Chain A
Amino acid sequence: MKTRMTELFGIKYPIMLAGMNWLTTPKLVAAVSNAGGLGVLAGNHQTPDGLREAIKEIKGLTDKPFGVNLTLGIGSAQRAPIVIEEKVPVLNYALGRPPEIAPLIEAVHGYGGKVIGTIALLRHALRSEQLGADALIITGYEAASHSGNVGALVLVPTISEAVKVPCIGAGGYADGHGLAAALALGAEGISMGSRLAATQDAEVADAVKQTWVNASEEDTVIDPAFDGINCRVLRNKAAEDLLEKKAFPLFDAISAGLHMKKTLDMSWGELLRTANNMRKMPSGIGGGQRGLGSSMRFAVGGRLFRVALEDPVNGILMMGQTAGRIKDIPTVAEVIERTVKEAEEILQNMNKQFAN
């Protein structure tokens, strides 16, 4: 299988792992790369030293290309240099502003690496392309965690017809049907999150994997109540509680902020900058409050996201609508191989239909 995505990254199949904080452990990342896809490590949830160790660990587990995802503005100033020093083959950034994005792209290109921008809005797609990104991840409304309001069926063709760089569909993809559909819409591949996390290779509690299997496409909710900007999560008790409260006691927010500072090894300045960045999220993917409330939710949400890794009832579990398509817990290699095989079969059959 050959698309502009496989060519660009030198991978076998046009499938990548969505960088998901806490979920994309080195083992999962390497499993995806070893299976012919592009594994991506989320790089915001560890300390900077932890990130460097994780990158080294991946290098020990695979000799195939892999990537690191960085949400810019959240401790990225300390982390981006590590990605560059380690010459990570693919940097995938999300959010951020041109003064931070442009030098980053230049640095990665400097050692021959590739850069993917994750976007949910047309204007950000155009900007990322202009800044030099080599490919774009187009996040549809169906996706877990943050997205805009436009469904993948509309957003993928809207953006892929507006830019020249290869586009990768994200949000709503779990199998060969989705891969074939994404390619038809003008994408050159897909990014899968929930589907690749509900695998034997993922290092998350079985209760969480089983939650993805059991949930239907109607069991999610998207709201700024969880981390300050629109975020799609499992509609469980913890989510309902946050939706009802709609406000945090100040004490919770402060203690969660201190917790975040510690686990991410942030300086006070970095913590305040992060809080300030959360406050200024771009419109269109915000949907939420502005101001300090947003920063507070980010801190509290961050803690509840971690609880969910062990306890999907009392934690906030990010989950896409694609949960309705997840029915088993195979290995990563099985997911990737059957996705490709299924897409090929579907398109062969359609070719016959068209020939008739």
Chain B
Amino acid sequence: MLKTRITELLGIEHPILAGPMAYMSGPELISAVSNAGGLGIMASLGYQTTDELREAIKKTKQLTDKPFAVNVTLLPSARQIKYEDYFLTAIEEGVKIIETSGRSPEPYIKLCKDAGTIVMHRATRTKDIQTAERVGVDAVTILGMEAAGHPGQEEVGSMVRIPVAVDAVKVPVVAGGGIADARGLVAALAMGAEGVLMGTRFMASKDCLIHNNVKDWLLTLGEMDTILIQKSIKNASRVVRTEHSEKILEMENRGASLEELMPMISGRRGQNVYATGDIGSGAAISVGQVVGLIHDIPTIKEIIDNMISEASVIMQRLQKMGLTG
């Protein structure tokens, strides 16, 4: 049992959160995380309508009676999104925790607070988590450059991002980017974080409903097998280095416009790979550098249980160094 301000705030057993992953973080995956004592976070914009989101939340509630969260990503999107409706749907369905990202959650804070919802905000820059704290969020997540998805344009490593963030805000800090096991958990806690957010680790789990080809492929990847694309459109994205993603990078280096890039970076391509397992079909697949530390495909419960028991082993090892008096 590892108690931090994050476990207290969220009412969870272990300070381990599953970062929302488009087309993956649905009811099955997030309920598995919550049932294992962590916090599952639903990727709400993966649902094209709020009705679909509502269905997914209802299904999740059938699968777990533990807390889970819904993420709303406030980024410009190819389709018109009425963000407020996504917040309202989550609130109406009794979701107790909302995670925001992409832009300041300020316009939606009152809505959430009036409903008694806990708000967490995830960002890559110190100043953005400070803004989030100022507008009233209850906790923040800081992402280092190691992360999958959008690790920020500045490319600052978690080893620096985490302690800087902890010093910069009073609310509890969750660390994301570069964490997949107990070593990362203990390191993050040592730097002052009160929880960790993991994505790639949960992608390579039995509970993630993507094609097994994709999971097996993850096991073959090393820490150097990712690249950052979309820096030219100010939305840096860490993906697996493939022929497809290198072609995107090449287009960006040539000065390709957003319109030219869109068909190449479309999330639909990834969705197709997850469903069919056809890795060669050409998609930018988000994974973190931490993929190099992932050597198996356990259940989510095994991942979390193992992290907690291994963390105790690490603490014992550190004690032998004469560190803990």
Contacts and interface: CB of A to CB of B under 8 A. Distances in A.
Range for the number of chain B residues in contact with chain A:
35 or more
B292 A158 contact: yes
A132 interface: no
B12 to A, nearest CB: 15
Given A344-B325, A353-B3, A150 B224 contact: yes
Interface string B183-205: 11011111110000000000000
Interface in A281-336: 284, 321-322, 324-325
B155 A141 contact: yes
B259 to A, nearest CB: 27
Interface string B75-98: 000000000000000000000000
A140 B191 contact: no
B314 A153 contact: no
Interface stretch (B37-45, B59-67, B105-113, B173-181): B173-181
Interface string B268-294: 000000000000000000001110110
Contacts, number: 163
Interface string B30-51: 0000000000000000000000
A153 B144 contact: yes
B159 A142 contact: yes
Contact of B183 (A151, A157, A351, A354): A157
Interface string A153-179: 111011001000000000111010110
Given A140-B157, A153-B184, A177-B192, A183 B321 contact: yes
Contact of B156 (A1, A121, A218, A356): A218
A184 B311 CA distance: 9
Contacts of A284: 224
A142 B325 contact: no
A348 interface: yes
Contacts of B155: 141, 222
B203 to A, nearest CB: 16
A137 to B, nearest CB: 15
B213 interface: no
B159 A173 contact: yes
Nearest to B145: A151
B2 interface: yes
B322 interface: yes
Given A3-B321, A175-B163, A343-B323, A152 B224 contact: no
A356 B186 contact: no
Contacts of A177: 162-163, 190-192
A6 to B, nearest CB: 9
Given A141-B155, A178-B191, A356-B1, A151 B146 contact: yes
Contacts of A153: 144, 146, 157-159, 177-179, 184, 187, 290
A148 interface: yes
Contact of B157 (A1, A3, A141): A141
A148 to B, nearest CB: 7
Contacts of B157: 140-142, 151-153, 171-172, 321
Interface residues of A, number: 51
A96 interface: no
A344 B324 CA distance: 6
Contacts of B178: 151, 153-154
B278 to A, nearest CB: 28
Contact of B163 (A141, A152, A178, A182): A178
A51 interface: no
Interface in A53-110: none
B261 interface: no
Taking each of A173, A181, A216, which has the highest tally of chain B beta carbons within 10 Å of its own beta carbon?
A181
Contacts of B162: 177
A154 B315 contact: no
A186 interface: yes
Interface in A172-206: 172-173, 175, 177-178, 180-186
Given A122-B223, A151-B145, A347 B184 contact: no
Contacts of B156: 142, 217-218, 321, 324
Given A142-B156, A150-B289, A353-B3, 18 more contacts: A122-B222, A141-B145, A150-B224, A151-B145, A153-B158, A153-B187, A157-B184, A158-B223, A172-B157, A172-B160, A184-B318, A217-B161, A322-B160, A347-B324, A348-B324, A350-B189, A351-B324, A353-B2
Interface of A: 1-3, 121-122, 140-142, 148-155, 157-158, 161, 171-173, 175, 177-178, 180-186, 216-218, 222, 284, 321-322, 324-325, 343-344, 346-348, 350-351, 353-354, 356
6 contacts: A151-B144, A180-B191, A180-B323, A184-B187, A322-B160, A351-B315
